[in-house]
Amino acid sequence: MVAPTANTIHPLGEEDSSKRRQILDGARKVFMDLGFDGASMNEIARSSGVSKGTLYVYFADKSRLFEAIVEDEALEKGKIAYNLDPKRDVETTLREFGRTYIGSICRPGGGSSIRTVMAIAERMPEVGRQFYENVLAKAINRLTEYLQAHVRPNDLAIDDCQLAAAQFMQMCQATLFLPFVFQAEPAPPAERIARVVDSATRIFLATYRAKPK
């Protein structure tokens, strides 16, 4: 269940109503097609199949509606299942994590929300911060905890596991994320993602695998 926030003005008991979901789905399409500045409450109401008056019952304005979509996106990303069991070997875990991570941020049709957040982050820094903390930072923190578990038994020699986690995720993005998010290329196929992630894994382990004593 989506936690209640000040972004909505609809009664708390109906936070997850089908009407609210209908509005969010319609608004998401408008933001994806037109961007934040191009979207209007009239167009969002039309796309959602509701009256403009009904739209304002649920959301005070366009900014509050967009914030709710970002929250929704963050919740969905939070459900991504990364198998980071500390008992699993590092190489297999990194490969699977990298493929799942890139598949989530480079999924077909998934770049619009990232582009829109990037475009308005300077004007609405709270939205940018929320997206980063609830989507990107959480993934970094989860991988950090896994790496820390493998430093202790001397599988890995890492001084700063959070930095190492971020480095690995950035290497996995190489040649994939930026061309995708700037619409220079379509969503990468699974085979290409696997090739890039495999390379990132080899480089990471060459740097951080503990040397035999």
In degrees rounded to 5, what are phi and psi of residue 207? -85, -40
Per-residue model confidence (pLDDT) at position 68: 86
Per-residue model confidence (pLDDT) at position 176: 97
CA distance 172 to 192: 11
Same fold, 12-69 and 80-208: no
User: Which is nearest to 105 in space by CA: 65, 87, 145, 132?
Assistant: 132
CA distance 65 to 44: 10
The tally of CA atoms less than 13 A away on the side-chain side of residue 57 is 14
Residue 22 Cα distances to 6, 60, 105, angstroms? 20, 16, 24
Per-residue model confidence (pLDDT) at position 4: 39
Per-residue model confidence (pLDDT) at position 71: 81
Contact partners, residue 85, CB within 8 Å, separation at least 6: 93
CA distance 78 to 70: 12
Helices 18-38/62-78 angle, 10° precision: 110
**Helices and strands of the chain, counted as H and E runs:** 11, 0
In DSSP notation, 23-74 reads HHHHHHHHHHHHHHHH--HHHHHHHHTS-HHHHHHHBSSHHHHHHHHHHHHH
Could you list the pLDDT tens digit for every one of the 213 residues in the chain?
333 344 444 444 444 478 888 999 898 888 878 888 889 999 999 999 999 998 999 999 988 898 888 888 777 766 677 999 999 999 999 999 999 999 988 988 777 778 878 878 888 888 888 888 887 898 999 999 999 999 978 799 999 999 999 999 999 999 999 999 998 999 999 999 999 999 999 999 999 999 876
Q: 166 pairs with which residues across the strands? A: none
The structure tokens listed for 76 are 């969905």
Per-residue model confidence (pLDDT) at position 102: 95
Per-residue model confidence (pLDDT) at position 15: 47
Dihedral of CA atoms 194, 197, 198, 203 in degrees, nearest 10, equals: 170
Domain boundaries, the chain: 12-69, 80-208
CATH superfamily assigned to domain 80-208: Tetracycline Repressor, domain 2 (1.10.357.10)
Per-residue model confidence (pLDDT) at position 140: 95
Which CATH number applies to 12-69: 2.40.50.140, 1.10.10.60, 3.90.226.10, 3.40.190.10?
1.10.10.60
Q: What is the pTM of this model?
A: 0.78
